[in-house]
Structure 1
Amino acid sequence: MNHHKAASERAFRAVRPGRRIWIALAALAVAATPACQSSNAEVGADEQILVSVSIAAPSAAPVYLADVLGYFKEEGLNVQVKEIANASLQVATGQVKYGQVNTSTLLQSASQGIGLQAVCVTQIDPSYILAVSDAVWKQRGLTESMSLKEQLTALKGEQITAVGGRTTNPGAKLLQALLTKNGLPPDWIGVLSMAGSSQATAAFQNGQVGLIFQPQPQPDQVLSKVPGRILYNIGDSPLFAEMDNVPWSTIATSADFAKANPEVTTKVCNAIGRANDYLDDHPDQAAEQLKSLIPTDFEILKDSLPTYKWARDGRMSEADFFRGVDVLAAMDMFAEVTQDQIKTAYTSAYQK
């Protein structure tokens, strides 16, 4: 099957987030239009370039490493890395030049036509871990001899926490897919909306929820404080074989800014690609470089990094990216997106 053709011949659909979120986003985009026009101009040779990450976690490792290992500098770039939550609109309008954006957010933004464009890929093949507290394990009568389906069936009515809730959190969507693949309704396990990861961790620690469904290091961090055990990892499971080489997060910019600054954009992608490769080839050394930047116990961080997979050289063909979008669309990861919006949301033109 030609996945590129399939992706370009259909509109992808998913659960639409609350209207107020997107009405506010559209209003902000309109208000930011004048700033966008000036912020997307060609940058000077010595001008500082702001690159954002949403959270100081292993998912942001390529950006941090490209900075601390000097890859940005070796490309002749003056980069400042800054943690900015929910920066996609600021990136799309050129107020932040580049930012790490997950693919789900990228496609949600594309549905609004605000000009956000991914130019290279960071993480692929997401690895989410389902863990349960010992208290819930005992209450629900779980045993090691049970199949995964039997364990999930016994957990009816339990909850995970998710920043943003069921409709917008990628992890919540993956949980729904896991339940569906095991013949259970997608709401068999509930989703408790949280404002941030620290609140989500606290909810598990105080017994408000008995399950966690997160990438590392969150499961190991929580289980180091609250007794529990890991039930399932989608990264090791044939149930999610279709997630192989799916783009999970990207480096994005304004499409107008990339067009005005093709050399700068190529250099950013070069630096990110080198960082991706370093993470794959030298995870222990990468953990050493990142230990002062990611607030996680060092041993947990070191154990966490090998569970992440990174796009080699930061590259992904447009055909492979669109195939990944097809997979994510089937999991209802983003709002309705047209074929033209998908085509403009990603380009491999700056990957050399």
Structure 2
Amino acid sequence: MRRTILKTLLAAPAAIALPRFAFAQAAPEKSKLTIAVGGKNLFYYLPLTIAEQLGYFKAEGLEVEIPDFAGGSKALQALVGGSADVVSGAYEHTINMQAKNQPIESIVLQGRAPQIVLAVSTKTMPGYKSIADLKGKKIGVTAPGSSTAMMASYVLAKGGLKPSDVSFIGVGASSGAITAVKSGQVDAIANLDPVITMLQRDNLIKVISDTRTLKDTQAVYGGPMPAAVLYVHNKFVQENPATCQALANAMVHALRWLQKAGPSEIVKTVPESYLLGDRSLYLAAWEKVREAMSPDGLMPEAGPPTALRVLQTFEESLKTKQIDLSKTYTNAFAKKAAAKYA
């Protein structure tokens, strides 16, 4: 009888009303994870917060802890030091770490535009005219070595200055950054929203380079520039493929949600502290960066070459290194996740 039933089921699959993805994927090899991030309140990392707040990680069988650091370079240090399993951070770090023979790999893309803005202080540099004016000045970044410092270094290089021609000062990604500008501790700042929009509201800065939209990103970098990703050690990918798939599923689920979410839904979902005391301004800032969010978690083919070219502009050590970009990211997990949440 069992054989007869089995033959019937195999011969007539169309007659069986099985739901899509009825067969569950393998359980995560590592269900408890630490995801390091530098500046969690920023829109740059909003997909991470959405996945956490809406329970998407839990739905994939993951229990995550997300310590927040002052900047992306600090989050990277946590991964290298072993206190974090995963980092939500800038894609550029995967290239820099390969050059140091410490391979890490992106498994899902969060942002398709960096959203970083370089601006000068209207208080300490009211007469600013060109990049050359920044020589010898203090530039506030989330943390030295982070994506904000990389973006500023690239803009400086295009203007004829070296990173060593300025002083990079870590100011974080929240109220500390705003205070640094207000008090005159820095002459310029490379940061993200909602911080930048709040500084603009009070006429504290003059924007000189902006990557919040796809058009502006193309103008600054000359190509698509990947932003935040989830990255891990290459060995982690090899040993924990089901865990990586679960992470990608949660993030793509969040990205899909963000494509449809209205302003009120965003405000209800993020922690109150993210609003920095001004709900309307937070939403205004969100509208400026909405299109920067990846719709599907997939790394664009032209993205990694752009990132490498940009880094080689000001990173002397990278100019002589052979970088295999295919080892800095994989779209395998995001493709499966995108199909699941299509």
TM-score, shorter chain, exceeding 0.5:
yes
Q: Are the counterparts in 1 of residues 114 and 217 from structure 2 also a CA contact under 8 Å?
A: no
Q: What residue is the counterpart of 1:135 in the other structure? A: 123
Q: Are the counterparts in 2 of residues 113 and 341 from structure 1 also a CA contact under 8 Å?
A: no
Structure 2 CA distance for partners of 1:253 and 1:180, relative to 1, 3 Å: closer
Q: Which residue among 296, 308, 323 is the counterpart of 1:326?
A: 308
CA distance in 2, matches of 1:179, 1:88: 24
Q: Are the counterparts in 2 of residues 133 and 227 from structure 1 also a CA contact under 8 Å?
A: no
CA distance in 2, matches of 1:96, 1:188: 31
Q: Deviations over 1:79-101 (max 9, x none)?
A: 33332562325435765332212
Q: What residue is the counterpart of 1:28 in the other structure? A: none
CA distance in 2, matches of 1:334, 1:343: 22
Residue 268 (str. 1) matches residue 271 (str. 2) = no
Which amino acid counterpart does residue 310 of structure 1 have in structure 2? M
CA distance in 1, matches of 2:217, 2:321: 30
Q: Are the counterparts in 1 of residues 110 and 297 from structure 2 also a CA contact under 8 Å?
A: yes
Give the CA RMSD over aligned residues: 3.4
User: Which residues of structure 2 form unaligned runs of 5+?
Assistant: 1-26, 337-342
Q: Which residue among 277, 284, 287 is the counterpart of 1:306?
A: 287
Structure 2 CA distance for partners of 1:199 and 1:292, relative to 1, 3 Å: closer
**RCO comparison, higher one (Cα < 8 Å, 6+):** 1
Structure 2 CA distance for partners of 1:208 and 1:79, relative to 1, 3 Å: closer
Q: Are the counterparts in 2 of residues 53 and 99 from structure 1 also a CA contact under 8 Å?
A: yes
Q: Deviations over 1:9-43 (max 9, x none)?
A: xxxxxxxxxxxxxxxxxxxxxxxxxxxxxxxxx95
Q: Which structure has the greater CA radius of gyration?
A: 2
Q: Secondary structure at the match of 1:307?
A: helix
TM-superposed CA distance for 1:68, in Å, is 1.1
Q: Which residue among 45, 53, 76 is the counterpart of 1:68?
A: 53
TM-superposed CA distance for 1:153, in Å, is 5.9
Residue 113 (str. 1) matches residue 92 (str. 2) = no
TM-superposed CA distance for 1:247, in Å, is 1.1
Residue 211 (str. 1) matches residue 211 (str. 2) = no
Q: What residue is the counterpart of 1:289 in the other structure? A: 269
Q: What residue is the counterpart of 1:174 in the other structure? A: 151
Q: Deviations over 1:236-259 (max 9, x none)?
A: 537725455321221012222222
CA distance in 2, matches of 1:339, 1:251: 23
Structure 2 CA distance for partners of 1:112 and 1:184, relative to 1, 3 Å: closer
Q: Secondary structure at the match of 1:306?
A: helix
CA distance in 1, matches of 2:97, 2:230: 14
Q: What residue is the counterpart of 2:166 in the other structure? A: 190
TM-superposed CA distance for 1:72, in Å, is 1.8
Structure 2 CA distance for partners of 1:126 and 1:283, relative to 1, 3 Å: farther
Structure 2 CA distance for partners of 1:315 and 1:293, relative to 1, 3 Å: farther
Q: Which residue among 231, 239, 248 is the counterpart of 2:207?
A: 231
User: Which residues of structure 1 form unaligned runs of 5+?
Assistant: 1-41, 143-149
Q: Are the counterparts in 2 of residues 53 and 81 from structure 1 also a CA contact under 8 Å?
A: yes
Query: For residues 155-170 of structure 1, what are the structure 2 equivalents within 5 Å?
Result: 158-165=137-144, 168-170=145-147
* TM-score, L = length of structure 2: 0.71
CA distance in 1, matches of 2:147, 2:64: 29
Q: Which residue among 15, 19, 34 is the counterpart of 1:50?
A: 34
Which amino acid counterpart does residue 35 of structure 2 have in structure 1? V
Q: Deviations over 1:260-304 (max 9, x none)?
A: 221221121121112123334326222331133636233333222
Q: Secondary structure at the match of 2:61?
A: coil
Query: For residues 235-250 of structure 1, what are the structure 2 equivalents within 5 Å?
Result: 235=211, 237=216, 240=219, 242=221, 244-250=223-229
Q: Are the counterparts in 2 of residues 162 and 193 from structure 1 also a CA contact under 8 Å?
A: yes
TM-superposed CA distance for 1:121, in Å, is 1.0
Structure 2 CA distance for partners of 1:213 and 1:81, relative to 1, 3 Å: closer
Structure 2 CA distance for partners of 1:163 and 1:244, relative to 1, 3 Å: same
Q: Secondary structure at the match of 2:141?
A: strand
CA distance in 1, matches of 2:297, 2:238: 19
Q: Are the counterparts in 2 of residues 283 and 305 from structure 1 also a CA contact under 8 Å?
A: no
Moved more, 108-117 or 124-133: 124-133
